[in-house]
Amino acid sequence: MKYRVGIIGLGIMGQRMMGNMALYDDFDVVSVFDPAHSVADIHYATSPESLIKSTDVDLVYIACPPDYHAEYAIAAAKVGKPVFCEKPLGVDVAQSRDLVDRIEAAGIPNAVNFSFAASPSRAFLKSKLADGAFGAIDAIDIRLHFAAWPREWQGAATWLSERKQGGYVREVLSHFIYLTESVFGKLKLEDAMVRYPDGAGGVAAETHVFADLSCGDIPVSVAGGVGGTGPDRIEYTVWGQTQSCRLDNWYTAYSSDGSGWVPAMTDIDDPRQVGRIQQLDHLAQFMRGAAHELPNFRAALSVQERIEDILRSY
């Protein structure tokens, strides 16, 4: 069965999803809504509401800025349509808690697009944990650095530079909070410090963040920054007493038994693209009502709670 998809928001994520779905037999993007009609040869709905209510749409994919996620997800629930949403669910935790309660009460299928959900790198970490390869885990470290934020290719999404909805803590760190909770367990914030370039009362997104979290008895440290010259750094390391593993630039995996880092997952030519295709495999299973790896709104709420806890620490 080919599922007909309506996309709300044709920014970077919306266009990327539309392109990937065009290569996948189970999905057909039949309608989109975005104030800027920037993509040719696609039907533009007159409003998000008309797209959601259209009898031609089987699945609503919400890829607009976070402030609107709850509104459109609830509208889809009212007409009984499955919802696939970009993270975060929102920036107001109380509103997102209410959203999750309403979505669950409506009983509609719901999922959030965390890129690690069906990725080879998450499967790699899960297999190491299941096999006991780490031994006792001493710590998990998350290191992020960006020469500029937003990055050059995100320039059109001006909201990403603003504290209200944007910043790399919500946009990037959230993926690694999800990865940690989905593989190792629930996180608790112990302490954090966030720096903003225009002070506590300003409008600009964060430049630096330091956070101390715990996952059971495992310390989880976060350090992030913006500025300088050089390549971006996106690194996730699990420090085990028997073996340690590292993800570099999201998807490139390494392991170490103490004598240096050795490439892992070398049988996969492009883990990033494999992950995108597998994400659609699981989205199709989600639509069929079959078992899948995509996190639901409740799991995404847990990530949002940790992220907003961190951002309030300044």
**What are the pLDDT digits (tens) for 62-71?**
999 999 999 9
Q: Report the distance separating Cα 48 and Cα 60, nearest Å.
A: 10
Euclidean distance between CA atoms 296 and 254, whole angstroms: 29
Q: At what angle do helices 93-106 and 69-78 cross, to 10 degrees?
A: 10
Structure confidence by residue, pLDDT tens digits, 148-181: 999 999 988 899 999 999 999 999 999 999 999 9
Q: Are residues 25 and 144 in the same domain?
A: no
Inform me whether the pLDDT recorded for 298 exceeds 90.
Answer: yes
pLDDT at 210: 98
Residue at a domain's end among 78, 112, 146: 112
- Counting residues of the chain whose pLDDT is more than 90, the rounded percentage is 91
Tell me: the pLDDT tens digits for 80-131?
999 999 999 999 999 999 999 999 999 999 999 999 999 999 999 999 999 9
Residues 199 and 265 in one domain: yes
**Residue 12 belongs to domain with CATH number:** 3.40.50.720
**Residue 290 domain-assigned (yes or no):** no
Q: Of 53, 78, 112, which one is at a domain's C-terminal end?
A: 112
Question: Does residue 105 lie within any of the structural domains?
Answer: yes
Confidence of residue 200 (pLDDT cuts 50, 70, 90): confident
* 194 confidence band (pLDDT: 50, 70, 90): very high
Regarding whether 195 and 307 lie in a shared domain, the answer is yes
**pTM greater than 0.75:** yes
Considering only CA atoms, which of 54, 93, 49 is closest in space to residue 73?
49
Is 282 inside a domain boundary?
A: no
